[in-house]
Amino acid sequence: MSFMKKTVSAGLVAVSVAAALAATAPSAEARDRHHHRGDDVLLGAAAGIAGGLIGGAIVSGSQRPVYVEPEYDYAPPPPPPQVVYRRAYYEPAPPPPRCHFEWVENEYGEAYRARVCY
């Protein structure tokens, strides 16, 4: 809200509250309380309703700014990379070695097992 709208709406609220308090305040009369007319209550209610209508019209007329997200203009995405498949030829794996264990003796005559591969 602008400064002027705030000032006017605050003034109208203050005037309507003051009018409602002044209209409903008891008068300093030295007579019986039950013999007065009910015009003060009606006047206060009318002032409150009028003030509420005027204040509501001011508040409802003020619009708050709305954020609108700007639309961005992006460049188109690059094309996907071209995939090239090539055949891969592999040499066959060599055959596993032909191995076996044999009992062998060393120069001191001790026997042990050794792996022998061809």
Considering only residues 40 and 11, tell me which one the structure prediction assigns the higher pLDDT: 11
Question: In this predicted structure, what is the pLDDT of residue 80?
Answer: 92
Which of 4-18, 33-47, 59-73, 86-100 has the lowest average pLDDT? 33-47
Report in angstroms the alpha-carbon separations of 96 from 82, 90, 99, 113. Answer: 41, 17, 9, 21
C-beta of residue 23 within 8 angstroms of C-beta of residue 57: no
Q: Would you state the pLDDT for residue 26?
A: 64
Q: Record the pTM.
A: 0.27
Tell me: pLDDT of 14 over 90.
no
pLDDT, residue 1, reads: 57
